[in-house]
Amino acid sequence: MLLAIDIGTTNIKAGLFRDDGFAVAQAVSPNTRVPGPAGTVACDPDRLWGAAADLIRDVMAAAGSPRVQTVGITSMAESGLLLDPRSGKPRSQILPWFETCSIEQAELVKREIDAKEHFCRTGLHASFKYGLPKLLWLREQCPEAFVGSGVWVSVSAYIAHCLTGEIAEDETLAARTFAYLIDRREWDVPFIRHFGFEPELFPRVVPVGSAVGTVMPDAAAKLGLSKDTVVCLAGHDHIAASVICSAGGNDVYNSMGTAETLVGGFAERGLDTRDFESGLSFGRNAFPNQMFWMGGHSFSGGSVEWFRETLGDTRFSYEALMKLLAQTEPGPTGILYYPYLAGSGAPQANPAARAAFIGLMAKHGKGDMLRAVLEGNAYQLEFIRRSAEQISGSPIERMNVVGGGVKNSVWLQIKADVSGIELIAPDMAEATLLGAAVSAGVGSGVYSSFREAAAAVRRPEGNRFVPDLERHHRYGKIYEEGFMTLMGALSRFYNGLA
255-277, pLDDT tens digit by residue?
888 888 999 988 899 999 999 99
At 203-228, the pLDDT tens digits run 999 999 999 999 999 999 999 999 99
Residue 474: predicted pLDDT: 97
Percentage with pLDDT > 90 across the chain: 75
Whether 57 is covered by a domain: the verdict is: yes
Which residues, 6 or more positions from 305, have their beta carbon under 8 angstroms from its beta carbon? 10, 258
What's the whole-number mean pLDDT along residues 17-39? 94
At 452-471, the pLDDT tens digits run 998 888 777 778 999 999 99
Confidence at 309, pLDDT banded by 50, 70, 90: confident
Whether 272 is covered by a domain: the verdict is: no
What's the whole-number mean pLDDT along residues 483-497? 80
Question: pLDDT at residue 249 above 90?
Answer: no
Question: pLDDT at residue 99 above 90?
Answer: yes
Which residues, 6 or more positions from 384, have their beta carbon under 8 angstroms from its beta carbon? 262, 280, 295, 297, 346, 347
Per mean pLDDT, which range of 72-81, 256-265, 406-415 is the poorest?
Answer: 256-265
As for how many domains the chain has, the answer is: 1
Confidence at 333, pLDDT banded by 50, 70, 90: very high
Confidence at 313, pLDDT banded by 50, 70, 90: low
Whether 62 is covered by a domain: the verdict is: yes
Which residues, 6 or more positions from 402, have their beta carbon under 8 angstroms from its beta carbon? 241, 244, 245, 253, 254, 255, 256, 425, 426, 428, 431, 432
**Between residues 16 and 454, which one has the greater pLDDT?**
16
Q: What are the backbone angles phi and psi of residue 339, rounded to the nearest 5°?
A: -85, 50
Question: pLDDT at residue 346 above 90?
Answer: no
What's the whole-number mean pLDDT along residues 98-106? 95
Whether 377 is covered by a domain: the verdict is: no
Please state whether the peptide bond connecting residue 347 to the residue before it is cis, i.e. omega within 30 degrees of 0. Answer: yes
Residue 234: predicted pLDDT: 96
Question: pLDDT at residue 405 above 90?
Answer: no
Residue numbers of the domain that contains 187: 2-239
Confidence at 248, pLDDT banded by 50, 70, 90: low
Residue 163: predicted pLDDT: 98
What's the whole-number mean pLDDT along residues 184-204? 97
Whether 306 is covered by a domain: the verdict is: no
Whether 448 is covered by a domain: the verdict is: no
Residue 498: predicted pLDDT: 57
What's the whole-number mean pLDDT along residues 103-111? 96
Residue 377: predicted pLDDT: 96
Confidence at 355, pLDDT banded by 50, 70, 90: very high
What's the whole-number mean pLDDT along residues 175-189? 97
Which CATH number fits the domain that encloses residue 88? Answer: 3.30.420.40
The mean pLDDT of the chain is 92
Question: pLDDT at residue 5 above 70?
Answer: yes
Question: pLDDT at residue 298 above 90?
Answer: no
What's the whole-number mean pLDDT along residues 104-119? 96
- Using CA of residue 81, residue 347, residue 250, residue 376, what is the dihedral sign? positive
For the question of whether the overall pTM of this predicted structure is more than 0.85, the answer is yes
What's the whole-number mean pLDDT along residues 357-382? 95
Residue 418: predicted pLDDT: 97
Percentage with pLDDT > 70 across the chain: 98
Which residues, 6 or more positions from 451, have their beta carbon under 8 angstroms from its beta carbon? 248, 287
Whether 497 is covered by a domain: the verdict is: no
Whether 203 is covered by a domain: the verdict is: yes
